[in-house]
Amino acid sequence: MIGIAYNGLKYNRHCHWSRADILALSMRLFRKTVKSAYLRSPFYREFYASLGIRYKDLSHLDPSDLPIIDKETVRCNFDRIANIAIPKKALSKGPEYFRLLPGIGYLVHTSGSTGKPCSFLYSQSAVTALEANFVRLSIAGGQNQITFHDFPIKSLYISSVGRGYASMLLAQNGLKSYHAQSVIVDASTPLDEWPDKIGNFAPNYLSGYPSCINILSEMQRDGKLNIHPKKIITGGEPIGKEEMRRFSELFGSDVINYYGCTESILIGAGASWHDGLYLFDDLNFLETDSYNRLIITPLTNHAFPLIRYRLNDIVEGFTKDFVPPLPFTHIDKIAGRTEELLWFENEKGKKDFLHPLFLDDLDVKGIEKYQFEQTGASDFIIRCMTFAGNKAELEKEIRRQIDGMLHKKAMMNVKYCVEFVDRIAPDPVTGKTKLVIKRKTEIP
């Protein structure tokens, strides 16, 4: 924990550097990352050589002279991108197991909302660097200062996803690193059980998706909870200044709008005390393409280098000019990252929800992609795209898994139908396939 705190303070010093110094640091780290990938990763060495790019060229080429890669590139070349030998036995366990063998690192996977899930590897040193940056997030501003009296950290985490996701990697591994006292509430838990699950626990940190924090805020407002965390760390869905202000007032907390993804667990953050989001140039080399999609090169994970990796996230107001108060790249907002909760009446006639990433744990071999559409107060459709297999057997397995989810949430009254389709079209603006569609006029 002392090492994490020390590195966190070191990263925090960058908040006081000049913009020119931050950009120079980012470029140095970028070139170091690219050179390391060329020497240690078979994929990059062969890929760049095929394009006539030699090792000695990497000292002077502009980053834009290097090719862009994407999720499909990683999916097809996973073991050749990694510069650590990964036992096939570890990969065969499936994406739900993020922890690999000791000395290797952590395997995490994407949710599948942008297509077929894809795995990514993190070294232990990369995870340590990310954990250290949560120290920076905690002390880089706001009204509530974190002091030594707040240790061990008391953390309340509302989990909306399965074990293989990047957020769970940080939540579970990070909490152990900080020797935290923690309560994790799974979003699959029936809503009326949440207050009992939290009990008298008094967290100084609260984290989860904005939609989940919003549910807690309603419980706080209605007197079902009485918690006052110093910091609320939220992300994964859009959150506006008004919602931040409401959370801050209800809980008496500083609100941090954390931005990250599976490919780079921490990219940047917004906060209740400044506008927009800052993207940390000391963690990622940052660019955009002509469609304003973000291109990242993570700078701390040399075990699994992603050089000029294009995300599907569209950013607005991207600028490398200095925007006070911090010396990092600034954006106004991220477009196209919203998923919505599906609200139903449960068996007791009470409102409860299914989180889209809880639904995304559905895993049936032979199904390429899913989409959920809510059609009423107690009805939804599951669209399934498949190119092979017996549809009757596939539907049987889909229903077995969905029924298990509904049973866990006491929602066996909710009805659904399964539709097999040839194509699930992506959103024309964001390029993402929506996991959830809601018919606004039919939702209670």
Residues 187 and 331 in one domain: yes
Torsion of CA 40, 43, 46, 47, to 10 degrees: -130
φ/ψ bin of 366: left (φ > 0), alpha (ψ from -120 to 50), beta (otherwise): left
Q: Which of 60-64, 295-299, 365-369, 389-393 has the lowest mean pLDDT?
A: 365-369
Instruction: Count the alpha carbons within 13 Å of 174 in the hemisphere toward its beta carbon.
Output: 25
Average pLDDT over residues 168-182: 60
Is 427 within a domain? yes
At 439, give phi and psi (nearest 5°): -90, 100
> Domain boundary at 305, 335, 365, which?
335
DSSP state letter for 125: H
Mean pLDDT across the chain:
85
Question: pLDDT band at residue 388, thresholds of 50, 70 and 90?
Answer: confident
pLDDT digits (tens, 9 = 90+) for 14-51: 999 999 999 999 999 999 999 999 999 999 999 999 99
Q: Which of 19-33, 43-57, 205-219, 324-338 has the lowest mean pLDDT?
A: 324-338
What is the per-residue pLDDT for 259?
Answer: 92
Gyration radius (Cα) of the chain, Å: 22
Residue whose C-alpha is closest to residue 140's, from 325, 329, 331, 283? 325
Instruction: Decide if pLDDT at 364 tops 90.
Output: no
Expressed in angstroms, the distance from the first to the final Cα of the chain is: 47
Supply the pTM of this predicted model: 0.77
What is the per-residue pLDDT for 116?
Answer: 66
Residues 156 and 280 in one domain: yes
Residues 151 and 134: their CA atoms lie apart, in Å, by 14
What is the per-residue pLDDT for 178?
Answer: 55
Q: What's CA 94's distance to the chain center, in Å?
A: 19
Instruction: Decide if pLDDT at 387 tops 80.
Output: no
Q: How many domains does the chain have?
A: 2
Is 363 within a domain? yes
- In the chain, the percentage of residues whose pLDDT exceeds 70 is 84
Residues 284 and 268: their CA atoms lie apart, in Å, by 9
What is the per-residue pLDDT for 400?
Answer: 95
**Contact present, 7 and 128 (Cβ < 8 Å):** yes
- In the chain, the percentage of residues whose pLDDT exceeds 90 is 50
Instruction: Decide if pLDDT at 366 tops 90.
Output: no
Residues 192 and 255 in one domain: yes
> Domain boundary at 317, 335, 353, which?
335
Residues 331 and 386 in one domain: no
Question: Domain residues for 205?
Answer: 142-285+326-335
Q: What is the CATH number of the domain that holds 177?
A: 3.40.50.12780
Residues 81 and 435: their CA atoms lie apart, in Å, by 29
Is 181 within a domain? yes
Instruction: Identify which of 58-62, 231-235, 257-261, 383-387 has the greatest average pLDDT.
Output: 58-62
Q: Which of 58-62, 83-87, 372-376, 404-408 has the lowest mean pLDDT?
A: 83-87
Which residue has tokens 């739900």? 96
Is 240 within a domain? yes
What is the per-residue pLDDT for 320?
Answer: 97
Residues 378 and 430 in one domain: yes
Bridge partners, 99 (sequence order)? 106
The larger pLDDT score, comparing residue 356 to residue 350, is at 350
Instruction: Decide if pLDDT at 92 tops 70.
Output: no
Instruction: Decide if pLDDT at 78 tops 60.
Output: yes
Instruction: Decide if pLDDT at 426 tops 70.
Output: no
User: What token pair was written down for 43?
Assistant: 């994929």
Residues 372 and 414 in one domain: yes
Percentages of the chain per state (helix, strand, coil), in multiples of 5: 35, 25, 40
What is the per-residue pLDDT for 361?
Answer: 72
The larger pLDDT score, comparing residue 75 to residue 440, is at 75
Residue whose C-alpha is closest to residue 97's, from 88, 105, 107? 107
**Which helix (H) or strand (E) is 330 found in, with range?**
strand 329-331
Average pLDDT over residues 345-353: 88
The larger pLDDT score, comparing residue 60 to residue 163, is at 60
**What is the number of other CB atoms lying within 10 angstroms of the CB of residue 381?**
14
